[in-house]
Structure 1
Amino acid sequence: MTGEIAPPSFAGDLFLALAAEGRLVVDAAWADDMITTLEQTRSILRQRLRAVRGWQSPSGRGVCELTQGVVDALFIDQLAPGRLEESITELAKYAEALRLARCVPHPGEQ
C-alpha cells in the first residue's frame, strides 16, 4: 500500500455522540440551514448512486442516458467505490446530530 492515500474519514458517529452528550450545541437557525443543505446534498448523491446502479445493471446502459452527471457519478464510483453510499449514510448522521444540537435562545438572549 505504499504511495496510496486513504480516503478521508467521516465523523458522523462522533458528531452524534457529542450532540447526544450536549457537548455540541449550535444556533437553531444555523442548524436548520445546514440540515437543509445536507438533505439537498443527500438527494443529489442518491440521484448519482441511482445513475451508477442503473448504468452498471445489464439492461441499464440502454435505458440510462449518458449525461455529464452520469459520467461524473461513474467517475466518482471508479475513484472511490462505495463512497457514495457511505456519504449518504454519514450525511444523515450529521443532519441528525444538528437536530440534537439545535439551541433555541431563550427570550432576552442574543
Structure 2
Amino acid sequence: MIVLEWETGEFAGWARHNRALNFDTGEDLVPTRSAEAMELYERIAWNGNNGWRDDWGKRDAIRDMRKLRDMGELDVLDLAGYMIGRRGSRAIRQLLRLARSV
C-alpha cells in the first residue's frame, strides 16, 4: 500500500505506527511513544468500541489521555493516526474532540 500526503501532518502518526517508508528521505518511520504509552493507546482503542460516545468509553479514554498528558506523551495527532484503520472517521473525530479537552 502507498499513502501519499501533500503538505500536511495528518498522516504522520499513521505512518509511524504502520512503519511506513518516507520515499523522499528513505527513512523507515517507527513509533516514537514509550511502551507504557502504547499500552494506553491500546486501552483507548479498546474503550472506543462504541466510538467513544458512551459514558464509559469517554470516561476511560479521558482518564488514559490524562495519564498520557502527565507522562508528556499526549500527541493528539499521533493518537488519531494510531486509530486510522482501527476505528472509523466519525469515531476518530470524536476522540479528537475528547483529546483536545484534556
TM-score (ref. length: structure 1): 0.28
What TM-score do you get using the length of structure 2 for normalisation? 0.29
Tell which structure's C-alpha radius of gyration is larger: 1
Higher helix proportion: 1
Structure with higher RCO (Cα < 8 A, 6+ apart): 1
